[in-house]
Amino acid sequence: IRINTEVMKKTLYLISLLLTSILFTNCTSTKEVVAISEAEKNVFNQKEGESVVIADEESEYEIIIIDPGFNAWLVSFARPEQFYSQSYLETRNRLYVTEWNIRATQPFRYDPNLYEMQINYSSNVDYGYEVNYKLYNYFIYFQRKYNQRLGHFVPRI
């Protein structure tokens, strides 16, 4: 068997160039910067505010959000109710809850002050639109306020 060394050199060069470009592409950050307005920052910095109770009387589930700026943010910045379908909210909430719970169980890796407890959210339960809407918006608020990313999606409003 005769091997053409010139062809082999070119082939190895192309393979190494291809691998280098793949590695470079995968290692560079494509993280989008989330623009936060001064008005939104002011809401994030609120020290007082009422807690938000997310509840559905039919399903008897309840979430209480104590973060003082969330209610003002929900009223001022969140998309209005019915903007998203319930199935959209449920899909996103499942993803966010999964990542949240992973972080809540790893206090040495993730800030335990941010992820204090797990969220019990089951895909088999219909929590209703309001619970899903407010929970989804809390995840968006949380990600924007604390510069976190709970999924592959940029937390936009």
CA-CA distance, 152 to 120, in Å (whole number)? 22
Place 18 in a pLDDT band, splitting at 50, 70 and 90. Answer: low
Lowest mean pLDDT among 33-47, 61-75, 92-106: 33-47
Calculate the alpha carbon distances from 145 to 52, 80, 105, 117, 150 in Å.
17, 19, 21, 18, 13
Q: Where are the domains of the chain?
A: 38-145
The pLDDT of residue 26 is 44
Radius of gyration (C-alpha) of the chain in whole angstroms: 22
Give the global pTM: 0.73
Quick: pLDDT tens for 55-65. 666 666 777 77
Provide the token pair at 40. Answer: 């939104």
Provide the token pair at 142. Answer: 């949380």
Provide the token pair at 97. Answer: 């809850």
Provide the token pair at 145. Answer: 């306020």
Between helices 86-104 and 129-145, what is the axis angle to 10°?
50
Q: Above 50 in pLDDT, residue 30?
A: no
Averaged confidence pLDDT in the chain? 78
CA-CA distance, 148 to 139, in Å (whole number)? 10
CB-based contact 151:95 (threshold 8 Å) = yes
Q: Above 80 in pLDDT, residue 144?
A: yes
Quick: pLDDT tens for 66-93. 778 888 888 888 898 889 999 999 999 9
